[in-house]
């Protein structure tokens, strides 16, 4: 009897051991299969073998178009704008030494690498504008790689459409003529008449802005502001020269109309004083001036913390316009966007194109994709860049021959 009990116990032990081994094996197999199917485990960077192999630069004054090429045949386009393109092209060629062989999807890393590479060349218009063109091309490339519009890479759209100017419902008035260090009643009347005409054109439900363009003396603006109250301006743009916070504060204390600026300020470090000093109401970064999409997005976050909306400045052709629009779509606080798709001084006709359509209220839809959603006529760009190019430095003078802001 004892032998039979021992045998049964042995059989049961063998069975349990066998079952345990089978269960353990099944568990290990299930874990292996589960890991293979678990999305959290699928973190391999499918773009890890992507490398920058070349950068082509096309000077078509006043811009330089940037094409970044890769070993996978995917390329991205950007635009350098707002500086002497002859200098920018040479600088971009030098900066490529730090880009060759890098993974183009490491956009923030590459921005930092370029900006901080030389301790004595940080910031400034030539470096930052040139970096902006490169940055825009990298975002275009990344969007094409993942087959999505750039704004999807920035967190998705915060709106369904974008209010823009100029349209029949929104107009910005430039300063009518030059202004001396002090102004006469006739000078004031010129501005008032221009703004009255714009208000009549857009109607009582339209939008009117006045661009002082840093060209009106502070005393003139203070004198003018009272006369502009009946026209309900959205903002006065560039009331003073950048970097003069004390002047901005003086104007903010004296003028009840909202003040806007930012197109000539670059990166988060130059925007921050306006926010900290609370001397403006609207921030106007230019994507091509301020370091590209990477910096414009950070500027929007800073402004959001101060409840300051963006009204992006934009005088580029389609790559620059599209980069700004994609960024504007993704940020929470957007007031209005500058938009000149048909201006021959900004847009190289037929060389760059993007689909868009205005609605009756002066809005356009979200920019398309993948990437920036801009069609580049590469053959036409190559031919245009092969022709002789010229660049004329702008400038202005007052009646006595002295140099003026413009």
> How does residue 299 score in pLDDT terms, banded at 50, 70 and 90?
very high
pTM across the whole model: 0.88
pLDDT at 383 over 90: yes
> How does residue 16 score in pLDDT terms, banded at 50, 70 and 90?
very low
Residues 6+ apart with CB under 8 A from 305: 275
| CA distances in angstroms from 340 to 149, 166, 176, 182, 400, listed in the order given | 21, 7, 20, 32, 34
Domain 52-147 matching CATH 3.30.390.10: the answer reads yes
pLDDT given for residue 21 in this prediction? 46
pLDDT at 210 over 60: yes
Q: What is the mean pLDDT of the chain?
A: 90
Helix 318-330, helix 293-305: angle, nearest 10: 30
| CA distances in angstroms from 216 to 33, 174, 182, 187, 220, listed in the order given | 71, 11, 9, 10, 6
Instruction: Retrieve residue 212's tokens.
Output: 């002082």
Q: Where are the domains of the chain?
A: 52-147, 153-372
Nearest CA to 284 among 315, 263, 305? 263
pLDDT at 135 over 50: yes
Q: How much is the average pLDDT of 18-32?
A: 48
Architecture of domain 153-372: Alpha-Beta Barrel (3.20)
pLDDT given for residue 349 in this prediction? 72
Express as a percent the part of the chain with pLDDT over 90: 81
């Amino acid at each position: 009897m004892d032998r039979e009990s021992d045998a049964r116990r042995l059989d049961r032990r063998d069975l349990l051991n066998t079952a345990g081994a089978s269960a353990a094996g099944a568990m290990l197999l299930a874990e292996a299969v589960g890991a293979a199917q678990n999305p959290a485990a699928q973190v391999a960077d499918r773009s890890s073998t992507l490398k920058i192999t070349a950068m082509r630069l096309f000077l078509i004054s006043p811009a330089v178009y940037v094409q970044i090429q890769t070993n996978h045949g995917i390329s991205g386009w950007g635009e350098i704008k707002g500086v002497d393109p002859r200098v920018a092209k040479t600088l971009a060629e030098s900066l490529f030494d730090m880009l060759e062989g890098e993974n183009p999807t490491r956009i923030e890393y590459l921005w930092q690498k370029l900006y901080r590479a030389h301790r004595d060349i940080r910031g400034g218009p030539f470096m930052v504008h040139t970096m902006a063109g490169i940055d825009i091309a990298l975002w275009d490339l990344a969007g094409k790689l993942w087959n999505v519009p750039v704004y999807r890479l920035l967190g998705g759209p915060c709106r369904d459409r974008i209010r823009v100017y100029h349209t029949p419902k929104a107009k910005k008035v430039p300063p009518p003529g030059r202004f001396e260090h002090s102004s006469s009643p006739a000078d004031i009347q010129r501005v008032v008449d221009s703004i009255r005409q714009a208000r009549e054109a857009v109607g009582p439900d339209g939008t009117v802005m006045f661009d002082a363009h840093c060209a009106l003396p502070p005393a003139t603006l203070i004198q003018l502001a009272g006369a502009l109250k009946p026209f309900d301006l959205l903002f006065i743009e560039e009331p003073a020269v950048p970097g003069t916070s004390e002047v901005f504060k003086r104007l903010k204390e004296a003028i009840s109309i909202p003040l806007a600026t930012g197109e000539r300020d670059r990166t988060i470090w130059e925007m921050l004083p306006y926010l900290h000093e609370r001397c403006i109401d609207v921030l106007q970064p230019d994507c091509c001036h301020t370091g590209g999409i990477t910096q414009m997005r950070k500027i929007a976050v800073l402004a959001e913390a101060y409840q300051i909306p963006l009204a992006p400045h934009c005088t580029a052709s389609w790559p620059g316009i599209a980069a700004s629009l994609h960024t504007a779509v993704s940020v929470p606080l957007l007031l209005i966007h500058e938009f000149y798709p048909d201006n021959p001084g900004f847009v190289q006709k037929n060389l760059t194109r993007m689909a868009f359509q205005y609605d009756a209220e002066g809005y356009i839809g979200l920019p398309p994709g993948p990437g920036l959603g801009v069609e580049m006529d590469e053959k036409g760009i190559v031919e245009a860049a092969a022709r002789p190019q010229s660049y004329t430095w702008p400038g202005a003078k007052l009646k006595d021959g002295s140099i003026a802001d413009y």
